[in-house]
Chains A and B, each alone.
Chain A
């Protein structure tokens, strides 16, 4: 803990675990897609599922998916703002199994195929991203993250790592389709990639899809709705 953790942060109430954490989870989804999705489906586990309306967890998730910052007052009007921006959404309770009580599964659509993200709000506004499109991981969202769908061929990983010009903090990978020889690679980085490095990775012959998720603590450009 530091003085700054005790003296802050500035946030939208009422609960750091049920509101602030939820907002950050949603924002991870926004950064992943690089935009607000057309449709967002939320499946809420245990404590999240039972108390989400009384904590505004639903509005916080939705506001996050639209890219709102931690202290953006627009979160309160997230439902109306989502409708006006053409974002279709739904919330339901679901038993997600042996995970933290405050866990949500998000299906975010930009086109026909959704991105599936599982995340937990673990207290004091801190979050863990625990699964992305079927691949288990443990990301805090505090660092920039590279998410790649690549050909599962020998040397593919080596080629990717060679192009990364930031320090690699953590690496997660799994084959997602044996028939098509596809793998998903998640790389958590200590600092931002240069644009050049990112472009080089994207142009690799083994790369099919590449997503660069910026850090959740990166400064937010523009205003969510009504401003701070």
Chain B
């Protein structure tokens, strides 16, 4: 599946973009469009439910390195961002901190990057009061954008670095937001491409190998990047490099990343003095328990 392929099918059949993605899915996997729609709807329902439930809460995470950030941002309230972006940031932190404390998440596209999509969708539901049935086409399209990346490159941090996890999540969220705001196929393409271009090269360097630092806060920052990219695209700013080619570039970059920067905890932030001290502290605490 390529994004160009989906766009082309949509223009030939006059189907909306997300319906074209369901047809492409049918021809590639044999999955029935109505069943796919219903199952993706279930995932989206869990995302909205969990976002509501965990919103702004303190969590007791496995390592204790995160867990209070969602509440801090929630308590402080809006500073510079719009209420929409504020809600998106809080929801994103909430889901990631819940994930780190063995809460229920939807691994869209992965567990580590599971906060970006909830950020955008929960803000649309909460702030803009978009009903579920109107959100679902965006979720279908987000999954299709992720599937383009999975087909052409990878969604795994261990294979392609964090650009493949959080970079992909941001591209999916930006594309969906542009789509749900009435953007056409070119705007969706640009929104996804613009944010992915900004996150290209992002390495996977979690402290101790645990999905907490930098993952949790990286999700929250990535949501704001996704919203910015959608805002640019919807204003008519187009990405010089189209989305499909950006994904190809991401694959090539991922291939050249050394093993140390692909989820091994052997490079980047994971090898800073503070990270090493934190890991020692965590391991001693575990040994005592």
B63 contacts which chain A residues (CB < 8 A)?
Answer: 54
Task: Decide yes or no whether A92 CB sits under 8 A from chain B.
Answer: no
* Smallest CB separation, A39 vs chain B (Å): 21
Task: Decide yes or no whether B111 CB sits under 8 A from chain A.
Answer: yes
* Contact yes or no, B31 A3, CB < 8 A: yes
Task: Decide yes or no whether A15 CB sits under 8 A from chain B.
Answer: yes
Chain A residue at minimum C-beta to C-beta distance from B151: A1
B-contact bits for A48-78, CB 8 A (1 contact / 0 none): 0011011110010000000000010101100
* Contact yes or no, B208 A54, CB < 8 A: yes
Task: Decide yes or no whether B202 CB sits under 8 A from chain A.
Answer: no
A-contact bits for B129-158, CB 8 A (1 contact / 0 none): 000000000011011101100110001101
Chain A residue at minimum C-beta to C-beta distance from B33: A3
Task: Decide yes or no whether B46 CB sits under 8 A from chain A.
Answer: yes
* Contact yes or no, B107 A8, CB < 8 A: yes
* Contact yes or no, A8 B102, CB < 8 A: no
Give the residues from 6 to 59 in chain A that come closer than 8 angstroms, CB to CB, to chain B.
Answer: 6-17, 19-20, 47, 50-51, 53-56, 59
Chain A residue at minimum C-beta to C-beta distance from B141: A3
A-contact bits for B96-111, CB 8 A (1 contact / 0 none): 0011111111111111
**Complex-state Cα separation, A71 to B98, whole angstroms:** 13
**Complex-state Cα separation, A183 to B40, whole angstroms:** 45
Known: A3-B140, A11-B105. A54 touches B209 (CB 8 A): yes
**Complex-state Cα separation, A13 to B67, whole angstroms:** 14
* Contact yes or no, B36 A3, CB < 8 A: yes
**Complex-state Cα separation, A54 to B140, whole angstroms:** 33
* Contact yes or no, B99 A51, CB < 8 A: no
Chain A residue at minimum C-beta to C-beta distance from B102: A76
Task: Decide yes or no whether B282 CB sits under 8 A from chain A.
Answer: yes
* Contact yes or no, A14 B210, CB < 8 A: yes
B22 contacts which chain A residues (CB < 8 A)?
Answer: 3
Interface centre among A1, A5, A73 (most CB of B within 10 A): A1
A86 contacts which chain B residues (CB < 8 A)?
Answer: none
Chain B residue at minimum C-beta to C-beta distance from A17: B158
The size class of the interface chain B forms with chain A is 35 or more
* Contact yes or no, B62 A55, CB < 8 A: yes
Task: Decide yes or no whether B186 CB sits under 8 A from chain A.
Answer: no
Chain B residue at minimum C-beta to C-beta distance from A52: B286
Give the residues from 122 to 153 in chain A that come closer than 8 angstroms, CB to CB, to chain B.
Answer: 123-125
* Smallest CB separation, B16 vs chain A (Å): 15
Task: Decide yes or no whether B25 CB sits under 8 A from chain A.
Answer: yes
B99 contacts which chain A residues (CB < 8 A)?
Answer: 13-14
A13 contacts which chain B residues (CB < 8 A)?
Answer: 98-105, 111, 114, 211
B111 contacts which chain A residues (CB < 8 A)?
Answer: 11, 13-16, 19-20
B-contact bits for A101-124, CB 8 A (1 contact / 0 none): 000000000000000000000011
Task: Decide yes or no whether A4 CB sits under 8 A from chain B.
Answer: yes
* Smallest CB separation, A24 vs chain B (Å): 13
Known: A3-B25, A14-B211. A53 touches B62 (CB 8 A): yes
A84 contacts which chain B residues (CB < 8 A)?
Answer: none
* Smallest CB separation, A126 vs chain B (Å): 12
A2 contacts which chain B residues (CB < 8 A)?
Answer: 25, 28-29, 31, 36, 147
* Contact yes or no, B102 A15, CB < 8 A: no
A47 contacts which chain B residues (CB < 8 A)?
Answer: 209
Chain A residue at minimum C-beta to C-beta distance from B110: A16
Task: Decide yes or no whether B112 CB sits under 8 A from chain A.
Answer: yes
> Which of A6, A59, A75 contacts B155 (CB under 8 A)?
A6
A123 contacts which chain B residues (CB < 8 A)?
Answer: 156, 158
B211 contacts which chain A residues (CB < 8 A)?
Answer: 13-15, 55
- What are 13 contact pairs spanning A and B, CB under 8 A? A2-B29, A3-B143, A3-B144, A9-B43, A12-B103, A13-B102, A13-B111, A13-B114, A14-B99, A14-B211, A20-B111, A55-B210, A75-B102
Closest 6 CB pairs of A and B: A13-B99, A7-B143, A6-B146, A1-B150, A54-B210, A76-B102
- Residues of A at the B interface (CB closer than 8 Å) are 1-17, 19-20, 47, 50-51, 53-56, 59, 71, 73, 75-76, 123-125, 228
Q: With A4-B143, A13-B99, A15-B211 given, can you name 7 additional A-B contacts, CB distance below 8 Å?
A: A3-B40, A8-B39, A13-B111, A14-B100, A17-B158, A54-B282, A73-B103
